[in-house]
Amino acid sequence: MIRIERLTLLFDTFKIMDLNIQIEEGGFHFLLGPTGSGKTLILESIMGLRKPMAGRIWIGEKEVQGLPPERRGVSYVPQDLALFPHLKVKENILYGIRARDLDMNIYEEYVHALVEVMKIGPLLERYPANLSGGEKKRVALLRALAPKPKLLLLDEPLSGLDPSIKVDLQHLLKNLHSSFHPTTLCVTHDFEEAYFLGDGMTIFMDGRVEQVGKRDDIFLRPKSKKVAHFLGAKNLYRANVIKKETSSQQWILGTNGLQFSIPMSLYQEKMEVGREVDLFIRPEEVMILREAKPVKDSLKRNIFEGIILDIDDRGKYHWVYFQTKEEKVPFEISIPNYAFRNLNLSIGQLVRIALREESLWVMK
């Protein structure tokens, strides 16, 4: 287990306050935050390159904030990768094992398995100058993993790659983690990458932690409007709790004359009539109903009629801009291409949308 407790860092005028992160052994945890929020500083303090003002760091059962970098059992892949240009790929990969004076016989089979998973066997005799960007990323990852670190730190590991190569490397990295289970803390700006690879996440903004949780907790249930905006959330509404329907166990929320129904069972925290809340609906959770098709019970409480204002083709999916007919409340809707083709939609068309009660998320 990795545990960071109340870590405080000062760099020039920038301050990070009371950072707490916990990663279970074999976990893949992502640290997400805007540019300049101090994410790289956090990695540098964990590996021992920066001394924290306060706080404690445990790697396994050992408290390490007072230890030099070489005694922490940490491997680091920086943004620039820092491959040794004068060493061939094989020598780069084995560097950490040799530098720590480890028994090569013990690691030989493990390193061979890493090479197989990351598909770099044909590259072993090349120098870094003769590698593509994606190949360099793979070599840097294997060099970091070769000495079996207790913690792997990744700083934007897949940045600067062409989209197709990036997707391939995401799958390779996922396969690598599922095969060898290295405890990993990764910094990234890429939400799709974090969602695909991560199991735990920390949202870090303005020097403070805004939210910690599992992948779906973060992306589907942001704690605050601030977190939702950072994650690029659409369909955010300021709403009022209008009434409580005890018989059906529903709360009724209203915004600009439009009413939403949500189950009381979804909210452990007390809601009160008259309270203002922020309501969030993910674009992919908004469904356009097809005529003459039966409607599921879970959708019947939140059906709205309106007009399609615009449609954007975004490659893998279509983005539909919808507005309710009477209240003029806008919705943004994300539809996969296969579903979009079946709907036969056009600008100006009058349609009905439906929302699952469980897809409505309320933030106080």
Q: What is the pLDDT of residues 190-232, one digit of tens each?
A: 888 999 999 999 998 888 899 999 988 898 889 999 999 999 8
Cα–Cα distance, 105 to 18 (Å, whole number): 43
Query: For the segment 245-272, what is each residue's pLDDT rounded down to a tens digit?
Result: 988 889 999 999 999 999 888 775 668 8
- Encoded amino acid at 231, one letter: L
Task: State residue 8 phi and psi, 5-degree precision.
Answer: -125, 125
* Alpha-carbon span 291 to 289, nearest angstrom: 6
Picking from 209, 219, 197, 199, the residue whose alpha carbon sits closest to that of residue 33 is: 209
Residue 38 — very low, low, confident or very high, per pLDDT cuts 50/70/90?
confident
pLDDT for 39? 87
Residue 160: predicted pLDDT = 86
Q: Are 38 and 16 in contact (CB under 8 A)?
A: yes
Q: Region 4-16: what's the mean pLDDT? A: 85
- Asked if 288 and 336 count as a contact pair (C-beta separation under 8 A), the reply is no
DSSP letter for 287, please.
E
Q: Which residue has the tokens 């100058």?
A: 129
Residue 99 CB neighbour total at 10 angstroms: 10
Q: How far apart are CA 308 and CA 352, in angstroms?
A: 10
**Strands, sheet with 208-214, edge to edge from the N-terminal-most edge strand:** 74-77, 151-155, 184-188, 28-32, 200-205, 208-214
Cα(29)–Cα(215) distance, integer angstroms: 9
Task: Collapse the DSSP code of 59 into the 3-class scheme (helix H, G, I; strand E, B; otherwise coil) and give the result.
Answer: strand
Q: How confident is the model at residue 123 (pLDDT cuts 50, 70, 90)?
A: very high
Beta sheet of 317-324, edge-to-edge order = 286-288, 350-355, 303-313, 317-324, 330-336
Task: Give the pLDDT score at 268.
Answer: 56
Q: Same topology for domains 2-229 and 234-363, yes or no?
A: no
234-250: pLDDT as tens digits: 999 999 999 999 888 89
Angle among Cα 68, 69, 73 to the nearest 5 degrees reads 115
At 109 the pLDDT is 92
Residue 252 confidence (pLDDT)? 94
Q: Compute the average pLDDT of residues 91-109.
A: 90
Of the chain, the percentage scoring pLDDT greater than 90 comes to: 66
The residue with greater pLDDT, 298 or 169, is: 169
Quickly name the fold that domain 2-229 has. Answer: Rossmann fold (3.40.50)
- Name the one residue in this structure whose structure tokens are 């009629």: 305
Q: Is 88's pLDDT higher than 70? A: yes
Q: What tokens appear for 252 in the block? A: 């009724």
Residue-level pLDDT at 246: 87
Residue 203 Cα distances to 9, 177, 215, 309, angstroms: 17, 22, 11, 34
* H helix or E strand, kind and range, residue 114: helix 104-118
Question: Torsion angle of alpha carbons 191, 192, 194, 195, nearest 10°?
Answer: 110
Q: Measure CA 337 to chain center.
A: 24
One-letter amino acid for residue 10 of the chain: L
Instruction: Write out pLDDT tens, residues 334-349.
Output: 999 999 998 999 999 9
Q: What is the mean pLDDT of residues 143-166?
A: 92
Q: Rounded CA gap, 147 and 238, in Å?
A: 52
- pLDDT above 80 for 13: no
Domain extent listing, the chain: 2-229, 234-363
Number of H helices, E strands in the chain: 9, 20
Mean pLDDT for the chain overall: 91
Give the residue, 12 or 116, on which the prediction is more confident. Answer: 116
The pTM of the full predicted model, rounded to 2 decimals, is 0.88
Q: Does domain 234-363 have CATH number 2.60.260.40?
A: no
pLDDT for res 208: 87
